[in-house]
């Protein structure tokens, strides 16, 4: 029996008079890579922020590992939040810190490690994310977009999370860099037993690494299923997205690589 590590029920998110989500339901299963897609303004990042506890929903519930973060005391909530890592859209690295210091920071702040131990472990995480040893002492301003993504991934992995949240991880990367990043995510998922919640517009990513796709539309999850099932949904946006020129190209590329 597949276990749901995230359960979203009847979620509502409002910004003043604007309702972004209403009666939204979604499960994320243990060990899967779930791709979350939708048109602009459908609230993909808002949903991610609601799940990780950065935004309090207007109504509904979000349970992670069976617990509702909004109902937990601060200590217990912190313990649960340590079980997931987040990679934000622009990396969100501290510009005044080296990569090693960026990754070491959560180990010092949340795991209570001494600085030398935290930095030694940070170098391991950077290597795990595919960065060379000499990258550890570089600052974010000295890095390419792809290296920033990998450094942000290393920080997301710092506390050995069980769930990884990725917000547009391949945005801005060239096709070769994006493909390499996709394969890295698959490798880490398989090696570390991660569950992955992945917000993306990248069709190649959807066809290459996602086990299921959740489509946000009409303020809710219109469908969450395997890609061949989602492709056949009659919704006009889904049909245009997956069966347009880029969708056909991504599908053909995925078929050739199998």
Closest of 153, 158, 88 to residue 124, by C-alpha:
158
pLDDT band at 2 (very low <50, low <70, confident <90, very high): low
- The mean pLDDT value for 201-227 works out to 94
**Is residue 128 in a domain?**
yes
Structural domain span for residue 93 = 88-161
Share of the chain above pLDDT 90, in %: 68
Same domain as 170, residue 251: yes
- The mean pLDDT value for 208-234 works out to 95
With a cut of 70, say whether residue 1 has pLDDT above it: no
Mean of the per-residue pLDDT values for the chain? Answer: 91
Supply 248's token pair: 């056909």
- The mean pLDDT value for 221-231 works out to 95
Per-residue pLDDT tens digits for 104-142: 999 998 888 899 999 999 999 999 888 999 999 999 999
Same domain as 157, residue 168: no
**Is residue 103 in a domain?**
yes
Same domain as 214, residue 157: no
Closest of 94, 77, 80, 91 to residue 167, by C-alpha:
91
pTM of the model: 0.91
> Burial letters for 25-54: b for 16+ Cβ neighbours within 10 Å, e otherwise?
ebbbeebbbbbbbbeeebbbbbbbbbbbbe
Per-residue pLDDT tens digits for 141-164: 998 888 898 999 999 999 999 999
């Amino acid at each position: 029996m597949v276990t749901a590590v995230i359960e979203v029920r009847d979620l509502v998110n409002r910004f003043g008079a604007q309702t972004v989500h209403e009666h939204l339901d979604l499960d994320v299963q243990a060990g899967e890579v779930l791709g979350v897609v939708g048109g602009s303004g459908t609230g993909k990042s808002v949903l991610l922020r609601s799940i990780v506890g950065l935004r309090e929903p207007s109504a509904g519930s979000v349970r992670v590992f069976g617990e509702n973060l909004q109902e937990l005391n601060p200590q217990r909530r912190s313990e649960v939040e340590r079980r997931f890592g987040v990679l934000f859209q622009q990396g969100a690295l501290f510009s005044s810190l080296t990569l090693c210091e960026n990754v070491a920071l959560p180990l010092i702040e949340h795991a209570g490690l001494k600085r030398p131990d935290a930095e030694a472990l940070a170098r391991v995480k950077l290597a795990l994310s595919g960065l060379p040893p000499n990258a550890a002492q570089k600052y974010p301003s000295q890095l390419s977009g792809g290296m920033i993504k990998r450094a942000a991934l290393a920080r997301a992995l710092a506390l050995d999370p069980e769930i990884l949240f990725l917000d547009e991880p391949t945005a801005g990367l060239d096709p070769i860099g994006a493909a390499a990043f996709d394969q890295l995510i698959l490798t880490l998922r398989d090696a570390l037993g991660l569950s992955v919640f992945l917000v993306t517009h990248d069709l190649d990513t959807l066809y290459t690494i996602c086990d299921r796709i959740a489509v946000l539309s009409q303020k809710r999850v219109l469908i969450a299923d395997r890609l061949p099932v989602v492709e056949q949904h009659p919704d006009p946006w889904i049909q245009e997205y997956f069966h347009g020129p880029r969708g056909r190209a991504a599908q053909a590329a995925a078929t050739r690589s199998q």
